Amino acid sequence: MQARQLEVFCMLMRSGTVTGAAAMLNITQPALSQILLHAEDQLGFKLFNRVRGKLVPTREAEELYPEAERIFSELGALRRRTTDMRFGRTGLIRIAATTPPAMSIVPKALLAFRTTYPDIVVRSLIAPLINVVDMIRNGDAPLGIVMNNIARPGIDVETLGYAELICIVPEGHHLAARDCITFADLQNETLISYRADTFPGQLLANAAASENQAFNPAIEIDISITALPFVRNGFGVAIVDGLLPWEQFPGLVRRPLLPRKTVPIALLTSRDRPLTGSHLMMRDYLRQACAGALKDGAE
């Protein structure tokens, strides 16, 4: 029995009349009757008898109906799923991000996205920059958010904005009373910040040199969140990116760093693998979330 024949059979069993079944299927009664005749010819037995102008299911039809209804329901579910996939309303979205955007931009994007598309599964991955790049290249994650906009072979890089580098100090620290902090203010402090061979580390070293000051972290970090326990436990003060929601962590005070320096936030996608409809939609939500996170951080 073909799919259309199965559909006609199930509608006839549900409605009990050619008129009702034709209306549910949005086809004419003659067309429905023709499909039924073809189905019976292929099966080699009748499915319905006409008794006083009404269709009465045969014993064979009664026996077939439960299984036919199950298959018909599954076909309907398959049609709905393929339609949803065509319009990007279902599926699996994979996002890889370094820690700061993973803790700030991605949650904002997911909250807005899931409100509109609750049936789409989203897989959020946190990894170092080099691993995010690898995941974009091999297709493990079609979307990546990192804090580096350097050009890379095979990857499209879209700069979404710039996050300021800031200072975080323990509550009660004498620098917490300052409106802003300079490199001169940090010369006698235990400094926690990026390694010199990282992008923000190089940026900060050059900025300090231009002020005739030193940039020598006593505690070196690769990602900003690792500075949290050191600062909160009074080991020293840190220069980190301002993208993380530092105000959510008790025991810390956030202050601007002068001269002002920023690091880029970039969206990575593969040049060789076009984004699916759902990933295209998520890309827009990530753009909006980045703009919102940078606005919140500036306030």
Give the pLDDT confidence of 199-257 residue by residue, as tens digits.
Answer: 899 999 999 999 999 999 999 998 899 999 999 999 999 999 998 888 889 989 999 99
Last residue of a domain, one of 33, 63, 78: 78
Range of the domain at 102: 85-158+264-295
Same domain? 112 vs 206: no
Q: How many domains, in total, are found in the chain?
A: 3
256 and 137 both lie in a single domain? no
Residues 13 and 72 in one domain: yes
Domain's final residue, options 41, 58, 78: 78
Same domain, yes or no, for 244 and 168? yes
CB 131 within 8 A of CB 96: yes
Cis peptide before 259 (omega within 30 of 0): yes
* Structure-token match 């400094």, residue found: 191
CATH number of the domain where residue 257 is located: 3.40.190.10
Cα–Cα nearest to 231, from 199, 262, 189, 196? 189
Residue 168 · residue 181 · CB < 8 Å: no
pLDDT in tens, 139-198: 889 999 999 999 999 999 999 999 999 999 999 899 999 999 999 999 999 999 999 888
Is 198 found in the same domain as 177?
yes
CATH, residue 4: 1.10.10.10
Is the Cβ–Cβ distance between 104 and 154 less than 8 Å? no
- Residue finishing a domain among 78, 110, 125: 78
pTM exceeding the 0.75 threshold for the entire prediction: no
Are residue 221 and residue 171 in the same domain, yes or no? yes
Nearest 10 degrees: Cα torsion 98, 102, 104, 108:
140
